[in-house]
Amino acid sequence: MMKAVYKADRSKGIEIRELPEPVISDNEVLIKVRSAAVCGSDIHLYNWNDWCDNVHAKNPIIIGHEFCGEVVDVGSNVSLVKTGDLVAGETHIPCGTCMLCRTGKQHICQDMKIVGVHTDGAFAQYTKIPEICAYKLPADTPHDIGAIYEPFTIAVHGVLKDKIGGCSTAIFGCGPIGLFAVNVASVCGASPVFAIDINDYRLKIAQKLSDNVIALNPHRDKIVEIVKDKTKGYGADVVIELAGSPEATRMGFELLRKSGRICIIGLHSREVSLDFVNNITYKEATVYGVTGREMFESWYQAENLMQSGKINVKDVLTHEFPLEETEKAILTAQEGKCGKAIIKIS
């Protein structure tokens, strides 16, 4: 038996339960989870709001999908990893046979399942994933760092989607992925990097990540004016939207320079009205939707960046909780008075 964070039904909340350990099939990997991290989607699942219905989330289910752990058993067909390897989990489970999977776009597979949303997840002492979703980490990776590879790779995907070196870059939303994006953009040569959020606690973390970060709060600062002023009146070369806010998105388009690119990563819970003619057509703006990670290019890039010694993840990992206090971790993340909340499991 094992301890796991269990979402029994649609009512608000979670519980810690003793459940049987997962049983693997020939193509699966059994993992003893070392560390996990709380994601925005865990907050949605905790509250069971519209997002859960929109993605057809399942219950009952063990939640949690950002994790790393040690391989303790592998199915008979598995050759990618072996017992004893430290692995992180790719959350998107691809079908492997659809047109998207067969054309290098497994991360947006037509029939994709998500760990901890559609299949039992990682806030547990043990979890299982298909072999294809196991990414072997350097053995000396600290477990809290291993646990945030998954969200870190989303930032890597968005920032490195197109040219970034030497580009002025405005990042809206300084939650954990936004902070990772600020960090990755700076390390990859973006400058200046405007970090924009209404949460001063998180802006303080952003400011710590690099000297060329300009932290701005729309409640206080005239964002569009400041960005244009610092970019000779042209606007930012690159905008990364992680706030999931219509206001932030409109502001992002407004301060994007002509021929600039904007990545929309944040999940908007409302429709966004936007003046297309002035913000996209006349600007010749390039708009990228970004979800998850390129499988597995973003993972290799993330590992190289982590190994470079130039990435500062430590300042983003502000809180740590034992598995038994996962509810507290989720509520702390929901409140926003934290960077990334880590759950230490074994």
R_g of the chain computed on alpha carbons: 20
Determine if 109 is a binding residue for Zn ion (CB under 5 A): yes
Are 68 and 147 in contact, with CB atoms under 8 Å apart? yes
- For residue 331, the Cα-to-chain-centroid distance in whole angstroms is 18
Are 99 and 110 in contact, with CB atoms under 8 Å apart? yes
Q: Which is nearer to Zn ion, 94 or 235 (CB)?
A: 94
**57/129 Cα distance (integer angstroms):** 17
Listed residue (154, 149, 253, 170) closest to 212, CA to CA: 170
Q: Least distance from C-beta 170 to Zn ion, angstroms? A: 23
Q: Which is nearer to Zn ion, 95 or 280 (CB)?
A: 95
Q: Which is nearer to Zn ion, 150 or 237 (CB)?
A: 150
Number of residues that bind Zn ion (CB under 5 A): 6
Query: Which of residues 31, 57, 78, 101 is near Zn ion by CB under 5 A?
Result: 101
Q: Least distance from C-beta 95 to Zn ion, angstroms? A: 4
Query: Which of residues 2, 29, 36, 39 is near Zn ion by CB under 5 A?
Result: 39
- 3-state secondary structure at position 301: helix
Determine if 95 is a binding residue for Zn ion (CB under 5 A): yes
Determine if 98 is a binding residue for Zn ion (CB under 5 A): yes
**117/48 Cα distance (integer angstroms):** 11
Q: Least distance from C-beta 126 to Zn ion, angstroms? A: 20
Are 78 and 27 in contact, with CB atoms under 8 Å apart? yes
Q: Which is nearer to Zn ion, 98 or 274 (CB)?
A: 98
Q: Least distance from C-beta 133 to Zn ion, angstroms? A: 13
Q: Which is nearer to Zn ion, 213 or 240 (CB)?
A: 240
H or E, element range at 332: helix 326-335
Residue 289 has phi, psi (to 5 degrees) of -90, 135
Q: Which is nearer to Zn ion, 5 or 216 (CB)?
A: 5
For Zn ion, what does the binding mask look like between residues 159 and 198, x meaning CB under 5 A?
----------------------------------------
Amino acid at 145: I
Joined tokens for residue 236:
């930012």
**Using CB under 5 A as the criterion, which residues of the chain lie in contact with Zn ion when the complex forms?**
39, 94-95, 98, 101, 109
